[in-house]
Structure formats: C-alpha cells, structure tokens
Amino acid sequence: MKPVIAIVGRANVGKSALFNRLVGKQIAIVEDLPGTTRDRVFADTSLHGHEVTLIDTGGLTPSPDSSMNHKIKHQVESAIAEADVIIFLSDIQGGVIATDQEIADMLRKSSKPIILAANKADNDKLESQLNDFYRLGLDTPLAISAHHGRGIAKLIDKVISLIPQLPPDTTANRNMPKLAIVGRPNAGKSMLLNAIVGEERAIVDQIPGTTRDAVDTIFHYDDKDLLLIDTAGIRRRGRSGTGIDYYSLIRSLRAINRCDVALLVTDSTEFITAQDIHIAGYIKESCKGMIILINKWDLFSSYPQDEYAAQVRQRLKFATHIPILFVSAKFGQGVNKIIPTAMEIWQERQKQLPDSVIDKLIKQAVSSHTPPRKGIKRLEVIRAYQDGINPPTFSFLVNDPRLVHFSYQRYLENKLRQTFGFSGTSLRFLFKKAPPKKPRKLGGKKK
C-alpha cells in the first residue's frame, strides 16, 4: 500500500508546479491564474526509490465565499484527512498572509506530519526571506523553487523521513487474482459485492482489509480463490457532499494500487462523470486490468446497449480495449458475467511471449510506419522484448528515448493488441537507451 502525500495551500502558490516537479512530467495544468486546479489531480511516483501516491489540491480558502470555494474546501479537508504526509505550500515572494495563518491553524488540528515549504525562492535574495515563515509555528520551513528545482531534494528527503510505517498487505504474496470494486458513492458497489458473492460461490473467509474502513472478501470460484477488495464502506459521520466523493476517490486509489483487475462501477442514470474518468485514468496509469460496469441498467434498459457503449468509449477514449458490461446489482442482471470476464483479463495479464516473437513484430511495425524524428535524428528500435507480466511489460532498446512520441507508442501498442490480444488490461512500455555498439577490432585473429 502506497503512502498518500497531499500538497495543500492557498491559490496561486505553485502547488501544481510542485506536483509536476515531483512526478517528473507535466500532468497538472499550470497557469498563472488563481483557482486553475479546482479539482484534485493524483499520480503515483517514486521519491528517491519510495513509491507514493501524490495528490494536488485546489487553492484553499478557509472561509469560502462561493459554492466553488466551499467544494474546494471540502476536497482539501478530505485530502488532509486521508494523507499520510502533508506538504503545506506558501509563496515566499508574497510573504505570510492571513490565509496562510488560517491554513496553518487548520493543519495543526489534523495531527498529521506537516512540511511547510515556501515556494518561488528562485534566488538567494528571495531565500533570505524564509525567516518570516517561522511565525506560522510549523517546524522549520523549507525554501524551494518548483520552477527551477531549488530545494526539491531537501523537500523529498523530508517527506521520506516523515512517511509512517504502514500496515503490511497480508494478501500481497498470496497467489490469487485480486479484484477491486471501485467507483463513486451510490453507484451500487456494496450491493454488487453481495450479488457477486451470493450468486457465484460461498464466502471462504473474511479478513481485515489493509485499505482503511474496507473488508477484503476471499471466495472460491471455479476451483480458484479470489480476493475482492471492497471500497463501499466509506461514509464517515459528519461528512457529506463532496467530502464523501473525495473519500471515495482516495479509497479507490488505495484499492487500485493493490488489485490486478479493477471493477469500475458507474451509474447508468448519470452516464460517465468526471470522477468516473478520474478513476478510470488512474486504473490505466497504474497498468491494471479494468471492466466498466454500467450498473442500475434496469432503470435504463430501453436504451440500446451498443449506442450507450459507443458513447462511453467516446468519453473514455483511452479505454477502447476495456470490456463494458451492463448489470443490475439489485436484480442480478448480468452479474454472472463479471467474474468470468475478470478472470479472462487476469489470464491476459499472465501472458508471456517469446522475446524473438516480440522483437520480430515490433521491427515489422517500425518498417511499416516511419518512426518519429527530431531534426535529422530519427527514432531507432534496436531490440524489443517482454520484460514481465501482471502487468504485461515491454522494453524497447532505442537510440534516444526522447524521440518516442505518445502517438507512436500508441501505434506500437495497437500492433501488440491486434496480434496477441491483451484485452482488458493496460500494457507497460519502457523505452531505454541502447548501450553503444562495441567497435570492431581491426585486423585478423592472432595465431
């Protein structure tokens, strides 16, 4: 289970720039406008070898004066409650303002490890203004520049030192397919779990889940034990509205990290929402298998399934290889298809192909479609091979990994899928710089 690191602070202090710096790629939208990141953004990343889930949040207003700011406040509060470490970001150029003091007071009540970082310290003169931030009373502040990378190594070291020892995943080493039921509140996750277990096989065992407030269910199906990771029981007293949505999202992230195949439960009457897309995108980024379950189909059954599925795929353009099942947890409609489909995807994730076969296919694909180039330099694929399973992982030795364009990677992925299937699961591609060729020795062999 990966620790959750949340970046919080008022608007326009550079939270998204720091998020992108720590993740190492451009994910969050960065603009010099207050309120650009109104929704949360999340990504898995490695901080000096430590795997974490990083969350970017909207600009916090402790006393919100609009419905949008109220929503952002709920989301940030939820992120604070679920985080293992909090990075409180402020702006060294603007100094400490009243909003910073209010946020500091709020964070102190959380009893979570907090790192105060003063951003935009782009030079030594600005860094000298750090003393002003001691009055927030949050331990020693750090001066950083997310834009220039100043102080980022110290920040990462501080984060790593504060990551708590999380409970071990007692199911991690068990050789069984792990399925996570994820999705928004009220989509029918809990009822679906009962329908799956009740209709398929008797429960073998129940064990405490390592995700907070969850219960893992082990049951027997077709001579094999399966683990169902349930994220339905997430409601907390005193929480409502967007707070619950945010708890659901973070709980889903934790469950997705542990599973092999994610069952994304959506509500047919609400179509595909922004949060559904967030969760689906995270499943893809985590290289997991996925089934999209259109639940409550009994309330929408007069609509043509093909047309509905086409609209879903239009909304989730990255999920063309993902099966879509129409179900009704309430009446058991289509539920009997879920586990067989999940098991097919799990088997696809175990598929191991000979290196020679992969190399031949990729080189044929490259010869059929000209690789990208920058200036006079063109991408060359020297060798391709499968590097692992669950998820299926493919390594490409190339002349320059920087020449790989996402559209060309998608082309190569489509070639692999057309030939070998891999239906329902994401594929992991690793592009590595090929070692230099050894120069040939001149002259003949010594006698």
Local confidence pLDDT in tens for the 447 residues of the chain = 688 899 999 888 999 899 989 988 655 444 343 333 344 467 778 898 888 888 888 777 777 667 766 766 777 777 788 789 999 999 999 899 999 998 998 898 888 999 999 999 999 999 999 999 999 998 899 999 999 999 999 999 999 999 887 665 555 545 789 999 988 877 888 888 888 887 443 334 444 333 344 457 888 888 888 998 876 533 333 333 444 455 566 777 778 888 999 999 999 999 998 878 888 888 998 899 999 999 999 998 889 999 999 999 999 888 889 999 999 998 999 999 999 999 999 999 999 999 999 999 999 999 999 999 998 999 999 999 999 999 999 999 999 999 999 899 999 999 999 999 999 999 999 999 998 877 666 655 554
Domains of the chain: 4-162 (3.40.50.300), 178-349 (3.40.50.300), 355-433 (3.30.300.20)
β-pairing, 261-267 with 203-208? unpaired
φ, ψ at 61 (rounded to 5°): -120, 105
Instruction: Say if CB 93 and CB 101 are below 8 A apart.
Output: no
Nearest Cα residue to 211 out of 187, 178, 237: 178
Residue 231: partners with Cβ closer than 8 Å, 6 or more residues away: 180, 181, 182, 183, 189, 211, 214, 248, 251, 252, 254, 255
pLDDT of residue 86: 94
pTM above 0.75, yes or no: no
Q: CA-CA distance, 78 to 86, in Å (whole number)? A: 12
For the chain, state the CA radius of gyration.
24
